[in-house]
């Protein structure tokens, strides 16, 4: 097909433009002293439940905010708003991932220095979000126990683009005969040394450990920013 | 961004080429008297378990074959081969959907007149496969009870591109407090009149009804083909 090289070339331009915008966002986050964390996973892995629990637990001690991407509906923003944190929905239409420019537009009207943590929930997809840097400090990939232990092997690129893996819905592990050893082995095969948290937004299992990690990362990133000023 | 119009134009060409190939495939399926059924869903909805059960149950009475798409690994083909049906894996690399040309290539060496049913398991994704016709007679969209009842509202395009919805993992419905009424309402909101089957590949619930539907559709399609000859 003669169109293939053109498609590749155009796609490169889109990605290059995205990288420029993402770099600018990362710089803004650093200057504002906010730790930006994005979440990726397949649809139905429990991203929104996990994020709602995160916002609720952090809310008393930190200033938190969230952006949430979906093709259609503002359901997730409505759910997350129950945590009392400021939340904005990004509707992507038919686009299967967030782009840095969408994040930039959604942030308009927010003073980032008023936040300690900014969470960005990507569209539910294990493929499209891989190539798009959103300027986040950390990218978490979520994997629910109901999805099957081989997802890291099947979607290596998204696991490679992420910094941390979170196993969700651990309360269902027994019911679905989740093989944790196999899941951990598959994660390490694709991304050796990757940090993994096992959590349940329902029972709260593993949430304290994961929140401790977030706090530690925020402190580290602020210390690094102070040194570079 | 100046690249946007070019990207749209190139994408249109790709889709147009795909439609031409899909039309040729559909004609081949009709002439060979094989009913082609594709499965789409998010990763981890249980497509492969559902398909393995389907192949195993149909195998004694019909000649069945399957193509299965994934970004990486041949795990699914290996799993499906346990059913004794001929199976081929299509590896898409970083592409988040199957295309008609990939199906066409994968079919090389197979005599389609030797099959009654051909199943095509798409890459796990609720967005990308929407726009790509594979020449199939029927497209099934799967939704597991663990994913949340609002998926049809969040991914309306894929539900619109499908003919039938299958609720999977019904054995876990109680454990995850699945709200069946809400799920059915959301499916009907997006695609009024859509046929829905509720199944469990584990317990076998709903499989007989779904297989009856497949047999009925195959008989109908053969009758129509006979008339048009």
B71/A146 Cβ within 8 A: no
Q: Does A94 touch chain B (CB under 8 A)?
A: yes
* Residue-wise DSSP of chain A: -THHHHHHHHHHHHHHHHHHHHHHHHHHHHHHT-EEEEEE--TTSSHHHHHHHHHHHHTTTS-EEEEEEESS-SHHHHHHHTTTS-EEEEE-TT-SS--HHHHHHHTTT--GGG-SEEEEE--S-SSGGGG---S-SEEEEEEETTS-TTHHHHSHHHHHH-SEEEEE-GGGTTTTT--HHHHHHHHHHHSTT-EEEE--TTT-TTHHHHHHHHHHHHHHHHHHHHHH-
- pLDDT (mean) for A90-108: 96
The percentage of residues in chain A with a pLDDT greater than 70, rounded to a whole number, is: 96
pTM for the predicted model, two decimal places: 0.90
**pLDDT for residue A226:** 83
Q: Does A91 touch chain B (CB under 8 A)?
A: no
> Is A129 part of a structural domain of the chain?
yes
Lowest mean per-residue pLDDT among A6-10, A87-91, B69-73 = A6-10
Indicate whether A185 pLDDT > 80: yes
> Is B33 part of a structural domain of the chain?
yes
- pLDDT (mean) for B72-99: 94
> Is B5 part of a structural domain of the chain?
no
Give the domain extent around B68: 19-216
Per-residue CA distances from B168 to A70, B42, B73, B127, B144 (Å): 23, 12, 23, 19, 4
- ipTM score for this prediction: 0.84
Q: What is the pLDDT of residues B16-75, one digit of tens each?
A: 999 999 999 999 999 999 999 999 999 999 999 999 999 999 999 999 999 999 999 999
Confidence of residue A1 (pLDDT cuts 50, 70, 90): very low
> Is A11 part of a structural domain of the chain?
no
> Is A6 part of a structural domain of the chain?
no
Indicate whether B5 pLDDT > 90: no
Indicate whether B3 pLDDT > 60: no
Can you give the CATH number for the domain in which A102 is found?
3.40.50.300
* Whole-angstrom distance, CA of residue A22 vs CA of residue B206: 48
Nearest chain A residue to B91, by CA = A154
A155/B72 Cβ within 8 A: yes
Indicate whether B96 pLDDT > 60: yes
Nearest chain A residue to B6, by CA = A10
> Is B160 part of a structural domain of the chain?
yes
Q: What is the pLDDT of residues A74-86, one digit of tens each?
A: 999 999 999 999 9
> Is A12 part of a structural domain of the chain?
no
Averaged pLDDT of chain B: 94
* Shortest distance, CA A148 to any CA of chain B (angstroms): 6
Interface test with A, best of B131, B146, B182, B203 (most A CBs within 10 A): B146
Q: Indicate the number of domains in chain A.
A: 1
Interface test with B, best of A41, A43, A92, A126 (most B CBs within 10 A): A43
Q: Does B148 touch chain A (CB under 8 A)?
A: yes
> Is A222 part of a structural domain of the chain?
no
């Amino acid at each position: 097909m003669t169109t293939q090289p053109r498609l590749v070339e155009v796609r490169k331009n889109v990605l290059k433009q995205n990288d420029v915008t993402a770099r600018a966002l990362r710089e803004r986050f650093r200057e504002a002293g906010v730790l930006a964390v994005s979440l990726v996973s397949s649809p139905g892995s429990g991203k929104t439940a996990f994020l709602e629990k995160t916002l609720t637990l952090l809310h008393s001690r930190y200033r938190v905010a969230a952006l949430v991407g979906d093709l259609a509906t503002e359901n997730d923003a409505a759910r997350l708003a129950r945590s009392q944190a400021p939340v904005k929905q990004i509707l992507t239409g038919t686009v299967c991932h967030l782009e840095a420019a969408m994040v930039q537009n959604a942030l308009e009207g927010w003073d980032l220095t008023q936040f300690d943590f900014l969470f960005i929930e990507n569209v539910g997809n294990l493929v499209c979000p891989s190539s798009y840097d959103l300027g986040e400090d950390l990218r978490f990939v979520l994997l629910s126990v109901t999805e099957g232990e081989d997802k890291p092997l099947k979607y290596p690129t998204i696991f490679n683009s992420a910094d941390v893996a979170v196993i969700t819905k651990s309360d269902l592990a027994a019911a679905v005969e989740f093989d944790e050893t196999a899941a951990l082995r598959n994660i390490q095969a694709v991304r050796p040394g990757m940090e993994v948290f096992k959590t349940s937004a329902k029972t709260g299992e593993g949430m304290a450990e994961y929140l401790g990690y977030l706090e530690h990362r925020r402190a580290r990133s602020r210390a690094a920013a102070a040194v570079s000023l």
